């Protein structure tokens, strides 16, 4: 049953729910109306019976022979009518019938009610014969000083007919109303869900080649509209990621091609004209240089790919940042000295932070390498760390040529270089260093920002959060 229900369309299910709810409401309403009318009609008959009783009691007489008889005293000559419709019995207290007046022949009555016992006020509905229901009121009275029990009757046929008419009308109208509700519900649901079909049709047309298409969204304020909005936003993000991926692939291919082309060109020239051993040695040297470039590039690409593939940071250990900075300074000491630069570590505190050592080291190595590369000789490069209330700051500052503000965001994109020609010809990389650095820091829950002015140097600041750190003095 559950499966059957789930296999139906939403429209069908909504229509069915709608019809069921309508049926329930209608049933409750009809039942309520029936109960109210029945109660009112019954109360009215009982009220009439009380009036009848008073009239009867006043109109009963006992003649000289002690027999009970009915003296009709109609004031408008309506005795005939009164005689026809009056319906009563007079009983003695010991259960003897003294007078009976029924408007129907007594012989027709098969189940006459038995003699009364007890002398209290009583109301009852009795079926005198099949289908003939009467309401009866029994009450003690006095006729000329004699105690009697008087019963008055009223036909219930009309009341019952009214009630059965209500039932009939309800039974006839009920299926009709439910069917109308079901059809109405189906139509309303079809109309309301129409945009969903349009969305599904459009979504089917969207492929990786047409990610710029969007779902139709005629009313962004309703539920379907907000679904379309969310879906369209997802498409926008997907499109951006896809474009980024495409750009990355084409940049990577381009970067891989350049050294390969150079390798081939150098090789071909050497093969053609290379008779001189000195020249051949030179050729092999430059070929090895290009091979080294390729190796570096592939290594960087692999690092990036690995970082993107695994989301969680594998190891998180408590790290002494000043000690790590000293270690990096020692590593680059020779390179800096060659360029006449000085590397200084500034730290007042023994700053500890819980982080992934390899990733943080990789980030810092890239930053210091860049600082050395982009600073003039005889300049100073500082590595500093400080505690903040919400975490730990690590900065790498140089007084090099700086970065123009419009590139502050872009330098973290893969393959972006401010001056491509210079990087390619010099010892510069392929523009993956800062992209790797940014990912490494973000994987540690931190962020990296650059503050730089053209010709005044740059500061790269890493902010690691406190919840991942255990900084203490
Ligand atoms: P690369 O491998 O070419 O150094 P990066 O991603 O490390 O690539 O850096 C991207 C670009 O950012 C570099 O080409 C350079 O123009 C600029 N850049 C990075 N660090 C510095 C710095 N300390 N001073 C000036 N420019 C920098």
DSSP characters over 112-154: PPPPP-S-S-EEEEEEEETTEEEEEEEEEEEETTEEEEEEEEE
- Give 16-29 pLDDT, tens digit per residue: 999 999 999 999 99
Angle at CA 147, nearest 5°, toward 142 and 151?
70
- Does the beta carbon of 397 lie inside 6 Å of ligand 1? no
From atom 12 of ligand 1, which residue's Cα is the shortest distance away? Answer: 411
Measured in Å, residue 417 CA sits from the centre of ligand 1 at 6
Residue 432: phi and psi, rounded to 5, are -100, -15
Contact 394, 321 (CB under 8 A): yes
CA triple 189-190-191, angle to 5 deg: 90
Task: Using the structure block, give the residue that is written with the tokens 């020692």.
Answer: 330
pLDDT at residue 470, rounded to an integer: 42
434 lines ligand 1 (CB under 6 A): yes
Residue 326 tokens, joined: 């000293």
Please give the Cα distance from 347 to 351 (Å, whole number): 8
Q: What is the mean pLDDT of residues 45-55?
A: 93
Q: Is the CB of 341 under 6 A from ligand 1?
A: no
Other residues' Cβ atoms within 10 Å of the Cβ of residue 284: 14
**How far does the centroid of ligand 1 lie from the alpha carbon of residue 294, in Å?**
19
Lowest mean pLDDT among 352-361, 420-429, 441-450: 420-429
Nearest-angstrom CA–CA distance, 412 and 414: 6
Averaged pLDDT score across all residues of the chain: 87
Question: What is the rounded CA–CA span in Å between residue 406 and residue 2?
Answer: 60
- pLDDT confidence bin for 364, thresholds 50/70/90: very high
% of the chain with per-residue pLDDT over 70: 92
Decide: 228 and 217 in contact? Cβ < 8 Å: yes
Q: Span 121-138, mean pLDDT?
A: 87
pLDDT tier, 468 (very low <50, low <70, confident <90, very high otherwise): very low
Residue 330 neighbours by CB distance under 10 Å: 11
95: which 2 tokens?
């259960």
- The pLDDT value recorded for residue 271 is 86
Task: Please state the atom number of ligand 1 nearest to the C-alpha of residue 457.
Answer: 24
Predicted pLDDT at 188:
92
Task: Examine the pLDDT at 307 and tell me if it is beyond 50.
Answer: yes
Residue 80 has pLDDT above 80, yes or no: no
Task: Report yes or no: 30 and 201 within 8 Å, Cβ to Cβ.
Answer: no
Q: Rounded CA gap, 382 and 325, in Å? A: 10
The DSSP secondary structure of 39-51, one letter per residue, reads: HHHHHHHHHHHHH
Q: Could you tell me if the CB of 414 is within 6 A of ligand 1?
A: no
438 lines ligand 1 (CB under 6 A): no
pLDDT score at 78? 53
CB 101 within 8 A of CB 86: yes
400 lines ligand 1 (CB under 6 A): yes
Of 1-5, 144-148, 448-452, where does the model show the most confidence? 448-452
What was the pLDDT predicted at 451? 96
Q: Nearest Cα to 231, choosing from 219, 214, 243? A: 214
In terms of Cα–Cα distance, which of 357, 361, 362 is closest to 317?
Answer: 357
Per-residue confidence at 472, pLDDT binned at 50, 70, 90?
very low
CB-ligand 1 contact for 322 (6 Å cutoff): no
User: Dmax over Cα atoms in the chain, in whole Å?
Assistant: 169
Q: Would you say residue 471 has pLDDT above 50?
A: no
pLDDT for residue 209: 84
Ligand 1 atom nearest residue 371's Cα: 23
Q: Which helix (H) or strand (E) holds 338?
A: helix 321-338
pLDDT band at 102 (very low <50, low <70, confident <90, very high): confident
β-sheet with 146-155: strand ranges across: 97-101, 88-92, 146-155, 132-143, 122-129
Locate 421 and state its tokens: 């020609």
Number of H helices, E strands in the chain: 10, 14
Question: Is 457 in a helix, a strand, or coil?
Answer: strand
Q: Looking at the CA of residue 428, tell me the nearest atom of ligand 1.
A: 3
Q: pLDDT confidence of 3, banded at 50, 70, 90? A: confident
Contact 138, 122 (CB under 8 A): yes
**The overall pTM is greater than 0.75:** no
pLDDT, position 469: 41
371 close to ligand 1 (CB < 6 Angstrom) = yes
| Confidence (pLDDT) at 293 | 86
User: Burial code of 62-81, b = ≥16 C-beta within 10 A, e = fewer?
Assistant: eeeeeebebeeeeeeeeeee
């Amino acid at each position: 049953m559950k499966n059957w229900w789930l296999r139906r369309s939403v429209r069908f299910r909504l229509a069915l729910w709608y019809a069921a709810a309508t049926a329930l409401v209608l049933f409750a309403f009809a039942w309520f109306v029936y109960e109210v009318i029945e109660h009112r009609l019954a109360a009215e008959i009982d009220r009439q019976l009380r009036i009848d009783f008073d009239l009867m009691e006043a109109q009963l007489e006992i003649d000289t022979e002690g027999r009970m008889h009915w003296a009709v005293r109609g004031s408008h000559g309506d005795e005939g009518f009164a005689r026809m419709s009056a319906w009563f019995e007079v009983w003695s207290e010991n259960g003897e019938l003294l007078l009976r007046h029924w408007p129907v022949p007594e012989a027709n009555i098969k189940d006459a009610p038995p003699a009364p016992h007890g002398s209290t006020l009583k109301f009852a509905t009795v079926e005198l014969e099949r289908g003939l229901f009467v309401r009866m009121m029994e009450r003690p009275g006095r006729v000329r000083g004699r105690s009697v029990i008087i019963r008055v009757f009223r036909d219930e046929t009309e009341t019952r007919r009214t009630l059965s008419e209500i039932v009939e009308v309800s039974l006839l109208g009920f299926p009709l109303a439910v069917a109308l509700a079901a059809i109405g519900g189906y139509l309303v649901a079809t109309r309301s869900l129409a945009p969903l079909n349009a969305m599904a049709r459009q979504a089917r047309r969207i492929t990786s080649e047409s990610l710029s298409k969007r779902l139709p969204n005629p009313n962004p304020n309703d539920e379907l509209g907000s679904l379309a909005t969310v879906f369209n936003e997802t498409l926008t993000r997907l499109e951006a990621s896809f474009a980024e991926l495409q750009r990355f692939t084409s940049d990577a291919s381009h970067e891989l091609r350049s050294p390969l082309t150079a390798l081939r060109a150098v090789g071909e020239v050497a093969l053609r004209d290379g008779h001189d051993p000195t020249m051949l040695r030179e050729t092999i040297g430059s070929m090895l240089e290009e091979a080294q470039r390729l190796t570096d590039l592939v290594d960087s690409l692999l690092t990036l790919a690995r970082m993107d593939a695994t989301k969680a940071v594998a190891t998180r250990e408590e790290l002494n940042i000043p000690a790590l900075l000293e270690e990096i300074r020692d590593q680059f000491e020779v390179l800096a000295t060659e360029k006449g630069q000085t590397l200084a570590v500034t730290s007042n505190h023994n700053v500890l932070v819980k982080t992934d050592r390899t990733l943080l080291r990789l980030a810092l190595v890239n930053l210091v390498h860049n600082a050395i590369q982009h600073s003039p000789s005889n300049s100073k490069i500082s590595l500093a760390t400080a505690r903040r209330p919400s975490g730990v700051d690590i900065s790498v500052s140089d007084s090099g040529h700086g970065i123009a503000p419009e590139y502050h965001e872009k330098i973290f994109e893969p393959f972006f270089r401010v001056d491509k020609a210079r990087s390619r010809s010099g010892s510069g990389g392929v523009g993956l260093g800062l992209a790797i650095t940014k990912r490494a820091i973000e994987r540690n829950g931190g962020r990296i920002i650059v503050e730089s002015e053209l010709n005044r140097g740059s500061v790269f600041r890493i902010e690691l959060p406190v919840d991942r750190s255990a900084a203490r003095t």
